[in-house]
Amino acid sequence: MKILVVDDQKANQIMLTGLLTSFGHEVVCASNGREALGLFEQVQPQLILLDVMMPEMDGFETAPRLKAMSGSVHLPIIFLTALDSQDTLLECLKVGGDDFLSIPFEPVVLQAKVNAHARVRELSYSIVEKNRALAWHTARMEREQNVVQHMLENALADNQLNYSFVKSYLRATSDFNGDVCLGRKGPFGNYYIFLGDFTGHGLAPATGALPVAQAFFSMAERGLSVGDMATEFNNRLYKVLPDDMFCAAIVVEMSANGDRISCWNGGMPDALLLDAQGRLAHRIKPQHMALGILSRSEFNSQLEHYFLSPGQRLVMFSDGVVEACNHKNQMIGEERFANWVTEMLDSDCSEVQFNAIVQRIDDFTGNASLNDDLSLVCLQCQPTGLEPQARSIKGYHLPFSLRVTLTEYDVRDRDPMQSMVDSLAKLDALQPHKTSLYLLFAESFNNLLEHSVLGMQSELKHEEGFERYYEERQSRIEQLQGLEIYFDINYEPNLNRLAFTLSSNSEHRFDGRCDRSTTIENDDTYGRGINLINQVADKVEWRDGGTLLYVSYSLSRPLV
Amino acid sequence: MSVTREFSADQKQLIITIKGKFDFGLVQEFRQAYSHIGDSEPLVIIDLRETEYLDSSALGMLLNMRKSLGSTVKGIHLINARPEVKRILDISRFEKMFTIA
């Protein structure tokens, strides 16, 4: 240990240096306070023996300065004093002294005191080190939380909760909310809501919210059913979450007209469906376990569907709402909350009324601390007013001609038309037309196959004959041999047109001669194919004596 | 599972969903989906949100269903049809026999 002895008496310096060196310490001496301060930076002493009475600067003035120079690490100062007046001793303590040593003294006392203070110094040093480590970890934790917060905010940037027909409120007990509320419009003008409650608060549930939010937005955009959504959330969370974590959730879809909702409730409190007067019409109870518990095979995606009349409202909330307590430790409770809802949302769910319910929760809980995250959503069932999604076509394609020759192998047990359209639809410009293209290809192909190649009679399709017709078709296909059907497909991007001709190595005509002409209004189950081709295509022509069909389709035709 | 059926909680609606391709390949599955509907006179809802391809045989199957169910159901709604599918239904004047929503 490095010790600084500050004493103007040469004799004392020599005596103390001798003793301390013999105890194994390193000693530097100063003759007064000023000299001690000058030496401090260079020597970096770990303990000070300080005389009281000295020229230039005495011990009382020196002690606080030395303490200040030592910073956050404790620097023990033992005053050397010949005086034992009580006032002097008190003054020593007041200026920051830690102990006294009266001269003369027994060497063993010096040794004991130095050792005792060395331990304190060591302790202080290790505390400072630990504080430094702690500060570093705290900063690091904060940085990482900021990263997650940032990711979460970005993931939720597309959250669409600002429509007039939806009101939501979330309150978190920590920086990260264990409750998640997501909203998104679908491609049919429909609207989806996800309200979830992860076990726990903080970072862990926030991390679980990420995959759910991503899956929710992308599935909503594709217009999937709520059952498929719930299945996907469950699969993801089952894989990702540890066994003791899960996510209670309610997933709802409202139709574009606002006249129908589909709902999957796993482990959330009953959602309250109100009638137009605000009376409780139905409780949508949790029919399922929370997400992330059941394996794929055990999971049940059964939905509940409700038809609504105008003005109905759906109120959903996490258990944090009904379990919120006041200062007497009384919970709000399901009954009381349902009463508030029916009382306050009597005619509408306006901003004012929604905020009044939130206020009521706040008034009830008062200053009592929140034990759980709290979320509340009200969905007003009305036409959403959201436009169905229009697909934008981008990209530039080259023209091409393509000949496809099908044989009986391609026709048996397969649907060559689906393969063909699936392939064509990989082009951006054709993708939005795949349903129409499939219809044109499939109807033309079936007409050729059934009437020219297989020699079937359409009338067979009538009612009970419908299935027999297709059985017969299948059995005739089984017997086909040496079949060749030719598709010549021509794509002309400059004309925005896709055209094809269809023919076969069969001699027979298939120009509809055998397809009884039908009016569109009749509801016969047959004779529709050619009509559909005529209506969907721009140009339909029979060529080569009814053995070749030419169909042209305009890609600039609006879809809606 | 390209055809699924599901009753609403109150048994008043039967929801049939058809995914991917709707053609005669589904004829039995589809017929089963609307069989055994009980005496509750439900409303039948055909959800076409994921129907990508259909041809005249699908239209025939819908018409067969309508004939077969007759007055045992409250009505038949075709919902969530994509624009292209909707156009095919319009061309076939299906709004005269079904509610298209």
Q: What string of H, E and C letters represents the secondary structure of A367-417?
A: CCCCCCCEEEEEEECCCCCCCCCCCCCCCCCCCEEEEEEECHHHHCCCCHH
The nearest CA of chain B is from the CA of A436 a distance in Å of 6
Q: pLDDT per residue over A518-539, tens digit each?
A: 333 344 545 678 888 988 999 9
Which one of A188, A307, A466 has the shortest CB-CB distance to B49? Answer: A188
A467 touches chain B (CB under 8 A): yes
What pLDDT, on a 0 to 100 scale, did the predictor assign at position A461? 65
User: What's the confidence (pLDDT) of residue A521?
Assistant: 39
Q: Mind giving me the DSSP string for A195-236?
A: EEEESS-SHHHHHHHHHHHHHHHHHHHHT--HHHHHHHHHHH
For residue A469, give the nearest of A454, A486, A487 by alpha carbon: A454
A367 pLDDT exceeds 80? no
A 511-540: CB under 8 A from B: 520-521, 523-526, 528-529, 531-532, 535-536
- Residue length of chain A: 560
pLDDT tens digits, residue range A431-481? 889 999 999 999 999 988 988 888 887 666 665 677 888 888 889 999 988
The predicted model gives A399-407 an average pLDDT of 94
Q: How far apart are CA A47 and CA A2, in angstroms?
A: 7
Instruction: Dihedral sign for Cα A105, A97, A22, A6, please.
Output: negative
Dist. CA A125–CA A118, nearest whole Å? 10
Identify the closest residue of chain A to B86 by CA–CA distance: A560
- Mean pLDDT of the A63-82 span: 90
* Test the A interface: residue of B43, B84, B98, B100 with most A CBs within 10 Å: B84
Question: Which region among A85-89, A208-212, A494-498 has the lowest average model confidence (pLDDT)?
Answer: A85-89
Residues A22-45, mean pLDDT to the nearest whole number = 92
Q: What is the pLDDT of residue B53?
A: 93
Give contacts of B44 with chain A, Cβ < 8 Å.
Answer: none
A-chain residue closest to B21, CA distance: A418
Q: Which two tokens stand for residue A156?
A: 């939720």
> Rounded to an integer, what distance in angstroms lies between the CA atom of residue A6 and that of residue A77?
11
Give the lowest-confidence range in A362-371, A384-393, A459-468, A493-502. Answer: A459-468
Beta partners for residue A473, in sequence order: none
- Residue-level pLDDT at A225: 92
Touching check for A439 and chain B: CB below 8 Å?
A: yes
Distance from CA of B80 to the nearest CA of A (A): 6
Task: Please report, for chain B, the start and end positions of each structural domain, with discontinuous segments joined by +.
Answer: 1-98
Asked if A432 and B84 come within 8 Å (Cβ–Cβ), the reply is: yes
Tokens of A155: 């993931």
CA distance B76 to chain A (A): 14
Residue A548: CB atoms within 10 A of its CB come to: 19
Q: Which chain A residues contact residue B52 at CB under 8 A?
A: 434-435, 438
The minimum CA-CA distance between B98 and chain A, rounded to whole Å, is 12
Mean pLDDT of chain A: 87
**Beta-carbon-side half-sphere exposure of residue B22 (alpha carbons within 13 Å):** 28
Which residues have a Cβ under 8 Å from the Cβ of B96 and sit 6 or more positions away?
A521
Over residues A79-122, the pLDDT tens digits come to 988 766 788 888 888 888 999 888 888 899 999 999 999 999 99
Using an 8 Å CB-CB cutoff, list chain B residues near A526: 60
Q: Which residues of A touch B67 (CB under 8 A)?
A: 463
Q: Residue A462: what pLDDT?
A: 62
User: pLDDT tier at A401 (50, 70, 90 boundaries)?
Assistant: very high
| Mean pLDDT of all residues in A402-406 | 95
Q: Where residue A290 falls among pLDDT bands split at 50, 70, 90?
A: very high
- Other C-beta atoms closer than 10 Å to the C-beta of B38 total 10
User: A531, B91: Cβ pair inside 8 Å?
Assistant: yes
Closest CA–CA distance from residue A241 to any residue of chain B (Å): 28
Residue holding tokens 């498929």? Answer: A228
- Report the SS3 class of residue A553: strand
What does the alpha-carbon distance between residue A490 and residue A497 come to, in Å, rounded to a whole number? 8
**Cross-strand bridge partners of residue B20:** B51
- Name the residue among A415, A442, A461 with its Cβ closest to that of B60: A461
Instruction: Report the distance separating Cα A311 and Cα A277, nearest Å.
Output: 8
Residue A429: the pLDDT is 86
- The reported pLDDT for the residue numbered A516 is 39
A29 Cβ neighbours under 8 A, 6+ residues apart:
A4, A5, A6, A7, A13, A16, A17
How many helices and strands (H and E) does chain B possess? Answer: 3, 7
**Which one is predicted more confidently, A229 or B39?**
A229
Pairwise CB contact (< 8 Å): A521 & B96: yes
Amino acid at A253: E
Residues of A with CB below 8 A from B25's CB? Answer: 415
* Percent of chain A residues topping a pLDDT of 70: 93
Q: Cβ neighbours of residue A480 under 8 Å, at least 6 residues apart?
A: A408, A411, A412, A453, A454
- Report how many Cβ contacts below 8 Å link chain A to chain B: 124
- If chain B, 101 residues long, is cut into consecutive pieces of 10 residues, what is the mean pLDDT of each piece? 82 90 91 88 92 92 91 90 90 90 81
Strand (E) or helix (H) holding A534 = helix A529-536
- Which residue type does A151 have? M
**Cβ within 8 Å of residue A68, ≥6 positions away:** none
Instruction: Provide CATH code, domain B1-98.
Output: 3.30.750.24
Peptide bond into A104 cis (omega under 30): yes
Q: Do A190 and B80 touch (CB under 8 A)?
A: yes
Establish if A466 touches chain B: CB-CB under 8 angstroms.
Answer: yes
Q: What is the DSSP letter of A460?
A: G
Q: Which of B49, B62, B78 is the mutation pick for testing A, counting most A CBs within 10 A?
A: B49
> pTM of whole model > 0.80?
no
Q: What's the complex ipTM?
A: 0.91
